[in-house]
Structure 1
Amino acid sequence: MAMRSLLSDHSHYVESFRLFLENSTEHQCMLEFIQKKLPGILSSIGSGKSTINILSVGGGAGEVDLQILVEVRAKYPGVVICNDVVEPSDEQISAYKERVAKTENLENIKFSWHKETSLEYESRMKASKEVKKWNFIHMIQMLYYVKDIPATIRFFHSLLEPGAKLLIILVSGTSGWARLWEKYGSRLPLNDLCLYVSSAHIEEILDGAGLKYKSYELPSDMDITDCFTDGNRNGELLLDFLTETCNFSKTAPTELKNEIIRDLKKLEYSEKRDDKYFFNNNLSAIVIEP
């Protein structure tokens, strides 16, 4: 069997992604950033406004979006918030709508969902005569799925109102992910849908474009101990997620599998605490000015 991208099997991807969230502090570290840092960052977006327009690009199932909205509403009580979501997955949009339906205290927040990719949204906006401007745009863990990252950032940056902010969250250039992709990316089934990109690449793009930004490091880890037990189902799913490969343990050449397993135990990738291994899952939050 040949290696194939994890994204070629949607249900397998979702299963491994859910396990990744269970085993990592991904959402916790984002939540801490949203609660502690974001209110200060957003202090300029709603001054004197009766409506705040927020665009969520790749909003997924809405877990993180709703946390952001809680903070925006606390910062600007009584202000109407229009929250538009660009998300290509029907499944994710359904989950987002269900989450909204079950969440209390969302009065004054209006939701609109657009089932499309960021590129489809960009094309639609450019085709229409009126391009809407936004007070806050966020792109969380989604730039891996964009073909032309500089053009995408340039377009969404152009939609910022004065005083607005564009927030990008993705894996840090100092994370285990960045090292793993750099070393093994060429030997893994790179998919058209997924690019190996980290905050280091984004900062290079922003510097090249002369854009003003500030970066925040979000420490995070993932328990990958199960990856080192042959035949462990959870370990195999986590390896699939780490390598972006469907059934990596069964389809990867033995030499490649052994090399990656060996590296994952090294300090550049993971930290050993007692008998457990924790992969460096650090994220970066990059806040861009208009």
Structure 2
Amino acid sequence: MLSFAASGWRIPAEHQCMKDFIHTTLPDILGSIGAGESTLNVMGVGSGSGEIELEILKLLHKKHPDAKVENDVVEPSNVMLNKYKALLSKTPGLDYVTFNWNEMTATEFEKEWKKRKSEKKMHFINMIQMLYYVEDPEVTLSFYRSLLHKDGKVLLILVGSAWARLSEVCDDQVCKEGIVQNLTTSEVKSFLDSKNIPYKNYKLQSLLDITECFTPGDEKGDRLLDLLTEVIEFRKTAPTELKDRVLEFLKRPENSQTVNGRILFDCSTEALLIDA
């Protein structure tokens, strides 16, 4: 079975609820950082192909129109970085941003940063859907939080509990490229609470119509199963026992609800805004 986990594909509903959060809630948060600064230092860790990050940069500029922005991009995939740069070349009006490209993992960047002995502090760091790819999420999060300016923020977005449980159902039988562990915000919040680290959390509610997944041979249903499991041609290539287990899981009442005969899977995510 072939994975496309590194391709940057996302469930449309998941992507949209992130964009809604960024455009409705995040602007006021961005307005609260870096007051009066001539340069704002920001960072994307696991920036992917840049769509969400460029949206954040535009909103930051609206809140701080006179400030320059220096953006450190940390992304290990050359394919994703090339997509990011291609998108940037087609996005006008970002001349206020300087981009520093770092083709490396979050852990590699941490080592590199310590070698530099840099005293640069970040006003905003986004870590969207990336903590699954590190060996020790608590250590990684602690390091990046240590880079914050005194009024800086880390934005962390992770999948909700239904997503995490689906990963566990598929565990060891599908190729989740690069994913080290299943992780939810509940575990991160427990860590933050244990260290008395202040944060706010936001539920990004989203439902995905998966009705066609239960019709064998349905093209739309097959594509949805590929996206949900992150496996190309999942229905054709997965063992029968695994397919049955995934479909049974998707239909459970704690994971989906039925409305007017349609089956809606809870693909909600959660955002944490972590203070310095």
User: Partner of 2:51 in structure 1?
Assistant: 63
Q: Which ranges of structure 2 fall in alignment gaps of 5 or more residues?
A: none
Which residue does the alignment assign to 1:179?
Answer: 165
Q: How far apart are the structure 2 equivalents of 1:126 and 1:53?
A: 17
Contact kept in structure 2, 1:178 and 1:197, CA below 8 Å: yes
The alpha carbon displacement at 1:204 in A equals 1.3
1:35 aligned onto 2:32: no
Q: State how far apart, in whole Å, the 2-side matches of 1:271 and 1:178 are.
A: 17
TM-score by length of 2: 0.90
Q: Which amino acid aligns with 1:229?
A: T
Matched residue, 2:97:
109
Q: Which amino acid aligns with 2:197?
A: L
CA deviation vs aligned residue, 1:98-151 (integer Å, no higher than 9, x gap) = 111111211211122111110110010112222432110110111111111000
Partner of 1:193: 178
Q: Which residue does the alignment assign to 2:273?
A: 287
Aligned length: 275
| Deviation per residue, 1:201-221 (Å, 9 max, x gap) | 111121222211110101112
Structure 1 residue aligned with 2:117: 129
The yes-or-no answer on 1:145 pairing with 2:130 is no
Following superposition, which runs of at least 4 residues in structure 1 exceed 4 angstroms of deviation?
189-192, 244-247
Is 1:85 aligned to residue 85 of structure 2?
A: no
Cα RMSD over matched residues? 2.2
Using the TM superposition, name which of 211-220 and 243-252 deviates more.
243-252
Write the distance in 2 (CA, Å) between the matches of 1:251 and 1:164.
46
Match of 2:83 in 1: 95
Question: Equivalent residue for 1:220?
Answer: 206
CA–CA distance in structure 2, aligned partners of residues 56 and 99 of structure 1: 16
Give secondary structure in 1 for the equivalent of 2:254.
coil
Does the CA-based 8 Å contact 1:226-1:235 persist in structure 2?
yes
Amino acid at match of 2:76: P
**Code of the aligned partner of 2:250:** L
Q: Counterpart in 2 of 1:157?
A: 145
Query: What is the CA–CA distance in structure 1 between the aligned matches of 2:31 and 2:135, rounded to whole Å?
Result: 32
Conservation of the 8 A alpha-carbon contact between 2:129 and 2:157: yes
Question: What per-residue deviation string (whole Å, max 9, x for no partner) do you get for residues 144-175 of structure 1?
Answer: 111110000010010001100011011123xx
Deviates more, 1:36-45 or 1:156-165: 36-45
Secondary structure of the equivalent of 2:272?
strand
Separation (CA, whole Å) in 1 of partners of 2:176 and 2:194: 26
Aligned 8 A contact 1:157 1:166 in 2 = yes
* Structure 1 residue 40 displacement after superposition: 1.8
Distance 1:153 1:65, change over 3 A: same
CA–CA distance in structure 2, aligned partners of residues 100 and 243 of structure 1: 30
Counterpart among 227, 230, 233 of residue 216 in structure 2? 230
Given candidates 200, 221, 225, the residue that maps to 1:239 is 225
SS of the aligned residue for 2:89 comes to helix
1:25 partner SS: helix
Q: Is the 8 A contact 1:86 1:118 kept in 2?
A: yes
Indicate the percent of aligned positions where both proteins have the same amino acid: 41
Deviation at 1:71, TM superposition (A): 1.0
C-alpha change, 1:110 and 1:236, in structure 2 (3 Å) is same
Change (3 A) 1:188 1:197: farther
TM-score (normalizing by structure 1)? 0.86
Q: Is the 8 Å Cα contact of residues 52 and 82 (structure 1) preserved in structure 2? A: yes
Correspondent of 1:75 among 54, 57, 63 = 63
The structure-2 alpha-carbon separation of the partners of 1:243 and 1:27, relative to structure 1 and needing over 3 Å to count, comes to closer
